[in-house]
Structure 1
Amino acid sequence: MFFVDTLETEGLGNRSYLAGGSATAVVVDPPRDVERIVAAAAARGVRIGYVAETHVHNDYVTGGLELARLTGARYLVPAEARVSFARVPVADGDQVTVDTGLTLRALATPGHTPHHTSYVLADDGREVAAFTGGSLLIGTVGRPDLVEPRLTEQLARAQHASAHRLAAELPDDVRVLPTHGFGSFCSSAQTEGDATTIGEQRTGNDALTQDADAFVARLLAGLEDVPAYYAHMAPLNAGGPPPVDLTPPRAADAEEIARRLAAGEWVVDLRSRTAFARGHVAGTFNFEGEGKLATYLAWLIPWGKPLTLLAASAGQLADAQRELVRVGIDRPAAAATGTPDSWLRAGEVFRSFPRTDFAALKRARERGEDLVVLDVRRDSERAGGHVRDSVHIPVHELHERSGEVPDGVVWVHCAGGMRAAIAASLLDAEGRRVVAVDDGFEAARRAGLTVTAGGGDADDRPGADGGSGTATGPGTGGGGPAA
């Protein structure tokens, strides 16, 4: 009897898998914090005999090398992947025995990367699951543009061919178990659903329902910006990531926090956007520990810049460290926990800004207030409809383009509130007067604030952006329940 356990890394939108029999298991595409995998194997009472990578990852730092070292497992890596550490190179058709009657077969599926390899699990000769990594996802495929721009179209065509190979060689009831596609920017489109099979993908995946030319054209037209930190992930993974150190960073007092801010370093407040808006140290940035911390902080921070973390508790700090090592931000320069008043020097006062909703924005416009509406969503989101007469700068570009924001009080919005909070904190740190619109974008449509690209009223839908908190009007100082 075999099993397959799924290990979610929700902040990055990825999944890893532990699959095995009664005694031995294989781990596919492990996260960097490998203790979770070791604990899962211990709970199953199995030994990890193999660790398998589908490809050299572009969106996170793998724990594969460290897991293999800790457990003595054989480390399976596609033979054509250029890496600088010892591993077991696997080529198309190679097969290993995971446990009695349980085999794992490599199946070349280039497209997400040139060397991408899927793995087919068979129980007593019956194929039961395919670990498809960044190849065939649920309703879509992995991005083909993360390796080299000149290879993008070629890899897009390879994705189409690989999807068809999987569909041709595997029975309809084989489970499709991708690594990417659950919020990951490695996915070429938003994934719909949580589980699928080869049979379901035959009729529900564009790669299998469209001809190659139509599929490639649509795929290339829909590609979003690539998170900046992706440029550092593949080299880290190819070089062999070192073990992680999750011990608490050195504690910083108010004087040190002030010195680091004065030096131009990043000091990041991990508290909720509600708490941050109510009161924070001037110059700090707000990246909620409960949001997509790793993705957006790693995307925006200049790579290698010293980072100090401010957290409400030791647990919040530890969770943030774990999130950040997954994207190669290993050791914060310093950290502080507790209440915000301990982060201020004597005589200093908090900064704050209001949180509100789209209904309040409508009323402010009707009153003729001098305000600027800043939309920090992605280009594709804005294409579906936007607030009339708003300025558009995606949040990942704002730090470099803040000078383009016109004078006036800046009302910042996104699709749900999380990115607006980040953007508001960036502008607030520059001394701008801001209002964070902590509301779902559907409320903007209901308020009659939106237009389409063609100028008509928009029938917009909110994007995936973190839930909206209870907002308060701009005259209240940003209080209200925690989001």
Structure 2
Amino acid sequence: MIDIRTIATSGLGDRSYLATDGEVAVVIDPQRDIDRVLDLAADLGVAVTHVAETHIHNDYVTGGLDLAQRTGAAYLVNAADEVGFDRTPIADGEQVTTGTMGLRAIATPGHTHHHLSYALLDTTADTGGEVLAVFTGGSMLYGTTGRTDLVSPEDTVALTHAQFHSVRRLVAELPAEAAVYPTHGFGSFCASTPASGADGSTVGQEATTNPALTQDEQDYVDTLIAGLGAFPTYYARMSPANTAGPAPVDLSAPEPVDPAELRRRLEAGQWVVDLRERTAFAAGHLPGSLGYELATPFVTYFGWTFEFDAELTLIGDDPQQVADAQRELVRIGIDRFAGAATGPIESLDAGQGLRSYPVSDFTGLAAARAERGQDALFVVDARRDEERAAGGVQGSVHIPLHELPGRRDEVPDGQVWVYCGSGYRASIAASMLDRPGRDLVLINDDWPRAAAAGLPITDQSTTGN
């Protein structure tokens, strides 16, 4: 019996897979921290014989090369991809067999030019190879498809047409009962639209719900392209790293930093990042530090706003929090850590004192406007363009979080309130804006509560922001 295990990376919205017949295993699209895969294989008592990439990834640094080298597995990468390392080239229609499992490559361009999906076969079946599942990478996702604009703007239209035909090919060639296992679509920006939220699907189910299968070609192309929003800037670094061949991951603990050195780094303007919960950061933090709460969105928004050549020091409640953040960051190629400090924040200030700002909600904003007048408050909307287009607080200024590092001068001194969709991005934005002369207020609230609080809501075209 073939067993498929999922290795989820919720921070990036991705999944890797290990399929085994009880003796040997194949691994699909492993993340860089391969100890999770090695531990799973050891727990199951199976040998990894093949590691397969559906495509050269744009949203994370792969662990495939490292895993293959450590286990002696064959590393399956599309023969058409020009890479800087030894691999086992595979092309459309070719099949490899290990134990009682077969893995057949199916060309599914769209997310990238050379994207492959892999049909998983049970070779003990009387038919000579019953298709049990298909690993679809960034092609067919749950209720959507992978985005097609990550290679280059010039290729987007052609790749979107290719994506349409790729998904239809999967449905035409594979049995309806075959399970679908995508790599993206669980919050990843590699999805063209949010996935359905389902935890599983089949080829037959997708045939009735996936836009590539329910719309005609031009409608699908036009709708997908019209819906493409901004994606993290660090994506530009991922494909070159994966094409060259990433170095093995290093998860050794950063060197400890004492309070005096921490203060020196802050005064020098270095990146010192506080991982604590956002309201704890607001209640007291080191001047000049940045608050990136270690929560599900952490790695995406950190990578989107981080200066990759900068020295990076982490502050955490304890060493485990620092280790968890480090694991998230190495997945997108942030390997250089200048050190870390842990413990109560009051013990780390080296006599410089702490800064703080209040936390409120949309009801608090409505009350402050009623008391002081709308013009007395400067309100920043840190959400993305597509969120803003659906409505924003009237009179607020739209500065998406990923644009804020270059637009901080647009925010005046005085009282500044900051909101987003949940409070997470607003908390990062507030830490970026925190300085003497600004009276910051973090709105730690969910966006749908803004209208319920009585705040006037207008769309982006009306506000002009």
Q: What is the TM-score when the length of structure 1 is the normalising length? A: 0.92
Instruction: Tell me by how many angstroms 1:448 deviates.
Output: 2.4
Q: Deviations over 1:337-390 (max 9, x none)?
A: 1111222122x2100001111011110010025211110001111111111111
> CA 1:430–1:454 in structure 2 vs 1: closer, same or farther (change >3 Å)?
closer
Which residue of 445, 451, 455 corresponds with 2:457?
451
Q: Does 1:191 align with 2:215?
A: no
Q: Deviations over 1:132-186 (max 9, x none)?
A: 0001111111111111111111111110010110111111111110000100011
The equivalent residue for 1:237 is 242
The equivalent residue for 1:372 is 378
Give the distance between the partners of 1:379 and 1:223, measured in 2 at CA: 11
Q: Any unmatched runs of 5+ in structure 2?
A: none
The equivalent residue for 1:345 is 350
Give the distance between the partners of 1:40 and 1:318, measured in 2 at CA: 20
Instruction: Tell me by how many angstroms 1:429 deviates.
Output: 4.5
Q: Does the 8 A contact of 1:279 with 1:351 survive in 2?
A: yes
Which residue of 147, 152, 163 corresponds with 1:148?
152
Instruction: Tell me by how many angstroms 1:407 deviates.
Output: 4.1
Q: Does the 8 A contact of 1:391 with 1:405 survive in 2?
A: no
Task: Provide the secondary structure at the position in 2 that maps to 1:160.
Answer: helix
Q: Does the 8 A contact of 1:383 with 1:452 survive in 2?
A: no
Q: Which amino acid aligns with 2:111?
A: H
> CA 1:139–1:151 in structure 2 vs 1: closer, same or farther (change >3 Å)?
same
Q: Does 1:401 align with 2:400?
A: no
Q: Does the 8 A contact of 1:284 with 1:429 survive in 2?
A: no
Give the distance between the partners of 2:183 and 2:461, measured in 1 at CA: 40
Q: Does the 8 A contact of 2:389 with 2:460 survive in 1?
A: no
Instruction: Tell me by how many angstroms 1:190 deviates.
Output: 0.6
Task: Provide the secondary structure at the position in 1 that maps to 2:246.
Answer: coil
Correspondence 1:156-235 to 2 at 5 A: 156-192=160-196, 193-235=198-240
Correspondence 1:245-284 to 2 at 5 A: 245-284=250-289
Give the distance between the partners of 1:194 and 1:121, measured in 2 at CA: 19
Q: Which amino acid aligns with 1:107?
A: I
Give the distance between the partners of 2:258 and 2:439, measured in 1 at CA: 28
Q: Which moved more, 1:290-299 or 1:417-426?
A: 290-299
> CA 1:310–1:454 in structure 2 vs 1: closer, same or farther (change >3 Å)?
closer
Consecutive aligned runs of 4 or more in structure 1 exceeding 6 Å deviation:
none
Task: Provide the secondary structure at the position in 1 that maps to 2:337.
Answer: coil
Q: Does the 8 A contact of 1:56 with 1:237 survive in 2?
A: yes
> CA 1:277–1:441 in structure 2 vs 1: closer, same or farther (change >3 Å)?
same
Correspondence 1:312-461 to 2 at 5 A: 312-346=317-351, 348-369=352-373, 370-429=376-435, 432-453=438-459
Instruction: Tell me by how many angstroms 1:331 deviates.
Output: 2.6
Give the distance between the partners of 1:430 and 1:204, measured in 2 at CA: 53
The equivalent residue for 1:116 is 115
Q: Does the 8 A contact of 2:112 with 2:148 survive in 1?
A: yes
The equivalent residue for 1:27 is 27
The equivalent residue for 1:471 is none
Q: Does the 8 A contact of 1:114 with 1:155 survive in 2?
A: yes
The equivalent residue for 1:296 is 301
Give the distance between the partners of 1:268 and 1:411, measured in 2 at CA: 22
> CA 1:430–1:268 in structure 2 vs 1: closer, same or farther (change >3 Å)?
farther
Q: Which amino acid aligns with 2:405?
A: H
Q: Does the 8 A contact of 1:142 with 1:186 survive in 2?
A: yes
Q: Does the 8 A contact of 2:381 with 2:397 survive in 1?
A: yes
Give the distance between the partners of 2:2 and 2:437, measured in 1 at CA: 59
Q: Does the 8 A contact of 2:275 with 2:314 survive in 1?
A: yes
> CA 1:455–1:152 in structure 2 vs 1: closer, same or farther (change >3 Å)?
closer
Q: Does the 8 A contact of 2:389 with 2:461 survive in 1?
A: no
Q: Which amino acid aligns with 1:228?
A: T
Q: Does the 8 A contact of 2:139 with 2:182 survive in 1?
A: yes
Give the distance between the partners of 1:172 and 1:452, measured in 2 at CA: 45
Q: Which moved more, 1:5-14 or 1:328-337?
A: 328-337
Give the distance between the partners of 2:8 and 2:436, measured in 1 at CA: 37
For the aligned residues, what is the CA RMSD?
1.4
Give the distance between the partners of 1:446 and 1:257, measured in 2 at CA: 43
Q: Which amino acid aligns with 1:115?
A: H
The equivalent residue for 2:292 is 287
Q: Which amino acid aligns with 2:444?
A: D
Q: Which amino acid aligns with 1:263?
A: A
> CA 1:430–1:285 in structure 2 vs 1: closer, same or farther (change >3 Å)?
farther
Task: Provide the secondary structure at the position in 1 that maps to 2:159.
Answer: helix
Give the distance between the partners of 2:134 and 2:397, measured in 1 at CA: 45
Instruction: Tell me by how many angstroms 1:257 deviates.
Output: 1.5
Give the distance between the partners of 2:140 and 2:46, measured in 1 at CA: 29
Task: Provide the secondary structure at the position in 2 that maps to 1:367.
Answer: helix
Give the distance between the partners of 1:204 and 1:61, measured in 2 at CA: 31
Task: Provide the secondary structure at the position in 1 that maps to 2:416.
Answer: strand
Q: Does the 8 A contact of 1:144 with 1:152 survive in 2?
A: yes
Q: Does 1:3 align with 2:8?
A: no
Q: Which amino acid aligns with 1:401?
A: R
The equivalent residue for 1:79 is 79
Task: Provide the secondary structure at the position in 2 that maps to 1:380.
Answer: helix
Instruction: Tell me by how many angstroms 1:211 deviates.
Output: 1.2
Q: Does the 8 A contact of 2:413 with 2:437 survive in 1?
A: no
Q: Deviations over 1:196-255 (max 9, x none)?
A: 111111111111111111111111111111201111111111111111111111111122
The equivalent residue for 1:470 is none
Give the distance between the partners of 1:48 and 1:13, measured in 2 at CA: 24
Instruction: Tell me by how many angstroms 1:314 deviates.
Output: 0.6
Give the distance between the partners of 1:183 and 1:231, measured in 2 at CA: 19
The equivalent residue for 1:47 is 47
Q: Does the 8 A contact of 1:120 with 1:129 survive in 2?
A: yes
Q: Percent identity?
A: 53
Give the distance between the partners of 1:247 and 1:41, measured in 2 at CA: 22
Instruction: Tell me by how many angstroms 1:451 deviates.
Output: 2.1
Instruction: Tell me by how many angstroms 1:404 deviates.
Output: 1.4
Q: Does the 8 A contact of 1:52 with 1:77 survive in 2?
A: yes
Q: Any unmatched runs of 5+ in structure 1?
A: 457-483
Give the distance between the partners of 2:410 and 2:436, measured in 1 at CA: 13
